Structure 1
Amino acid sequence: MTTANSPSDNDSDDSKEYDENIVNVLEELQKKIIAGQPIQPETIYQQFPQFEQELRELLPVMLVADVAGGYFRLVECEEGTLDTAPARTTPCRLGDFELLEELGRGGMGIVYRANQQSLNREVALKMILPGRFASQEQRERFQYEAEAAAKLDHNGIVPVYEVGELEDCPYFSMKLIHGQTIKDLVQNELYSSRDAAEIGLAISRAVHYSHNQGVLHRDLKPSNLMIDHDGRPHITDFGLAKQSTSDSGLTQTGVILGTPSYIAPEQAAGSRGDVGIHSDIYSLGAILYYMVTGRPPFQAASAMDTIMLVLEQEPVAPRIINPAIDRNLEMIILKCLQKPADLRYASARELADDLEAYINHQPIKASSGRFSHIIARWLGETHHAAVLQNWGLLWMWHSLVLLLACVLTNVMFLADIDNRLYYSGMWTFGLGAWAAVFWKLRQKLGPVLFVERQIAHAWAASLVAIGLLFPIEYLMGLEVLEAAPVIGLISGMVFMVKAGILTGKFYAQAIALFATAVGMAIFPKHSLFLFGVVSAICFFVPGYQYHRQKTGA
């Protein structure tokens, strides 16, 4: 005997099938993200319209997690090795080496002070963690570090003597540097501006040599810089180095390599960042910052919070933390820490030359530039401009809403409607309701960044100011819309703010709206028609451009 399924049973089956299907879609998307394939959210939403609501909530989180997870995958791998590392009681004998004491350990290796018996010399012996239990990838990365360091012959870089295996444990021996790291030294006393510049000069020369040999360090930080007893710096730990001539696949897509407080924004961006010479230059600036202030440019309670600061915020000016810092050195440091890579020094040699000029009391390049270059920087996009791709379509809609509001306002004015409540209601409740819808639509596109909240506050302030314009006209005994040109001035000011935060191209919109305010004063009867057309163009054109960028059209 059979019984028909009840409606609730059918609903349960449908719900189960729906959940399974969306899980399959999310798994495929995750594979593409991990593989580094480009993801266009709008295209995905159109491809799976039945799951659009869920995808709009989950896909942006997956993309952010790709950056965050990349860092934490690396950290967890490294931290996990510390507990499983084989303990060795020193002193002890290991092959041709007598291990005298442990000097330190990191995510991938442990360093001993050792005596090489056959040559009767003291060396620094680095062995892989966790010894013979290391994975193949860890062994390859360790070998990669040894090869990168071994090809460098510079007095500012710790030389590698030999590479091999002891008891199935990879190792390489290096020159033993007697001294302390910059991290340890700064914890006791800050560097003076001149001393920091001299150390930075020597490090920059060594990094420039490394770059010329095709090796990027990618993990320059105070704990990787040894200062010997003669005050000379030595770069060590090439565990994250990249050789430009190598096609090694050791760097995983989406993994953030480096120490968050000292990595460049393009490194913090994981798979979406273009890491190169400019990345090491940023790290050099971060090291100089630490030497004279006692803290890195960015530091937060967690690694992910620090990464978000690196991506979104500007560093506090060094002189605010330590007023004793020389202004010219501060300019050099801040030039290194520019988020757009093209605004930093073009090479470590350029940085070294500027530091040398500073030491010799000569003009520095950080404080000068060609007029055309200055104008190009002034009009160029900032690192925040990428958020405009999320606003492109919304700005196109906003331009139409704004044009409609202006046309209706001008029509009411020409119809001799003098009740200010109608005008005030349209520009406060009407545009206020649209602003709420706009913001809700933006939230559906993914996490809202801090800079977007700043822009939203400027926009909200303009709406409040325009809404108050009508009661102020009444209190001053002015006719309806007699102060309308002020709307153009307010809107121009908002675009000035956007130009400073997002892209200098918005100065054109600001100028256009300031000019429109003058036109509104000259043609008062059609002032809102004029403002509506100009402001709609100011929003629609960049909105269309950035929407095309986002969709790849």
Structure 2
Amino acid sequence: MVGRTISHYRILRKLGSGGMGVVYEAEDINLKRRVAAKFLPEDLYKDEKALERFEREARAASLLNHPNICAIHEIEEDEGKPFLIMELLEGEDLRQKIRGEPMSMDEILDVGVQIADALDAAHAEGIIHRDIKPANIFLTRRGTARLLDFGLAKMTGQELTSTLSAAAAGGNGGNGVAVQEHLTTADVIPGTAVYMSPEQARGEELDSRSDIFSFGTVLYEMSTGRKPFLGKNVLFTLDAILTAKPISPSKWNPRLPPDFESVVGKALEKK
């Protein structure tokens, strides 16, 4: 892939990869700027669910124009395979920043306020992120926090429709709707287990409060270096999320202000 020119983008180097995407630094030849190009792993291009989530990321982010949300510029295709062009971010994600240690209160408040603002903007548009976790929060070298990866996002009241998944299913738009329904049924629980809300763990219908709970788990980890709910496997973790009360953050970090601890506790309240 590196060295290829696809459409008007020259692929420069690989930045990273995960189960749902491979990201490269690229040069926009027309505009003379550096961007990030995100491709699906080769084995997922015929997977309707993967295509749905891939386009969902673009559609959700395209509805939002916010300084704390990673901008997606466009969807392109290479030999019929879609890829995303996004703004290029330089820095590290919050998971790399924490590394099992509490952050300073100034850092916590700085990042926390920015991501809270991003979530508020998304929720105002009826978009639920559903995968709030440190790996999806990026800290740029200029000190800006960016919320990433709307691939599991869902809109309240209406769905983020997909044309790519419908095409993959043979061009029948109804099949695209079927994929959407499959992705949100109770037996499919999107998101990363340790950051899930109780209602997400139960496979229930979600609203913005689910994101707030997940954000509370991130604030807890930022302030203590520990996850509030963690079992020896996924099932024990989900049980802890559903039934357990987390240890007070100040037990791990006595320097935390009581007001901050109250905010975290409020975010982690169960229904």
TM range (shorter): 0.7 to 0.9
Match of 1:268? 201
Deviation by residue 1:338-396 (Cα, 9 ceiling, x = unmatched)? 112xxxxxxxxxxxxxxxxxxxxxxxxxxxxxxxxxxxxxxxxxxxxxxxxxxxxxxxx
Match of 2:48? 136
1:306 & 1:150 partners in 2: Cα distance? 34
1:164 & 1:328 partners in 2: Cα distance? 47
1:311 & 1:293 partners in 2: Cα distance? 21
1:172 & 1:317 partners in 2: Cα distance? 41
The answer as to 2:37 corresponding to 1:106 is no
Kept after mapping to 2: 8 A contact 1:297/1:315 = yes
Please state which structure has a larger fraction of its residues in strand: 2
1:165 & 1:171 partners in 2: Cα distance? 6
Kept after mapping to 2: 8 A contact 1:197/1:329 = no
The secondary structure found in structure 1 opposite 2:27 is strand
Q: Rg larger in 1 or in 2? A: 1
The secondary structure found in structure 2 opposite 1:180 is strand
The answer as to 2:210 corresponding to 1:279 is yes
Deviation by residue 1:102-121 (Cα, 9 ceiling, x = unmatched)? 22223322211111222211
Q: 1:116 aligns with which of 24, 28, 31?
A: 28
Match of 2:70? 158
Match of 1:316? 247
Q: 2:149 aligns with which of 237, 252, 257?
A: 237
Kept after mapping to 2: 8 A contact 1:319/1:325 = yes
Q: How does 1:313-352 map to 2 (within 5 A)?
A: 313-340=244-271
Match of 2:221? 290
1:168 & 1:235 partners in 2: Cα distance? 29
Kept after mapping to 1: 8 A contact 2:93/2:138 = yes
RMSD of equivalent CA atoms: 1.7
Deviation by residue 1:80-116 (Cα, 9 ceiling, x = unmatched)? xxxxxxxx4x343333222222222233222111112
Kept after mapping to 2: 8 A contact 1:108/1:129 = yes
The secondary structure found in structure 2 opposite 1:174 is strand
1:194 & 1:329 partners in 2: Cα distance? 12
1:216 & 1:152 partners in 2: Cα distance? 12
Number of residue pairs the alignment of both structures matches: 250
**Aligned residue identity for 2:12:** L
Match of 1:550? none
Q: 2:126 aligns with which of 214, 224, 227?
A: 214
2:13 & 2:239 partners in 1: Cα distance? 39
Kept after mapping to 2: 8 A contact 1:192/1:325 = no
Instruction: Give how far 1:188 is off.
Output: 7.5
Match of 1:168? 80
The secondary structure found in structure 2 opposite 1:304 is helix
Instruction: Give how far 1:134 is off.
Output: 2.6
Q: TM-score, normalised by structure 1?
A: 0.44
Instruction: Give how far 1:157 is off.
Output: 0.4
2:133 & 2:188 partners in 1: Cα distance? 19
The secondary structure found in structure 1 opposite 2:99 is helix
Match of 2:58? 146
Q: How does 1:486-501 map to 2 (within 5 A)?
A: none
**Aligned residue identity for 2:217:** A
Deviation by residue 1:106-154 (Cα, 9 ceiling, x = unmatched)? 3322211111222211111111223674312321221122111111100
Deviation by residue 1:205-259 (Cα, 9 ceiling, x = unmatched)? 1110111111110101101001111211000100100022434424233211111
Q: Calculate percent identity across the aligned residue pairs.
A: 35
2:267 & 2:68 partners in 1: Cα distance? 20
Match of 2:177? none
Instruction: Give how far 1:333 is off.
Output: 0.5
Kept after mapping to 2: 8 A contact 1:132/1:168 = no
The answer as to 2:235 corresponding to 1:304 is yes
Match of 1:251? 184
Kept after mapping to 1: 8 A contact 2:72/2:85 = yes
The secondary structure found in structure 2 opposite 1:161 is strand
1:284 & 1:301 partners in 2: Cα distance? 22
Please state which structure has a larger fraction of its residues in helix: 1
Identify unmatched segments of 5+ residues in structure 2: 160-179
1:92 & 1:131 partners in 2: Cα distance? 20
Q: TM-score, normalised by structure 2?
A: 0.86
Instruction: Give how far 1:160 is off.
Output: 0.9
Match of 1:177? 89
**Aligned residue identity for 1:262:** Y
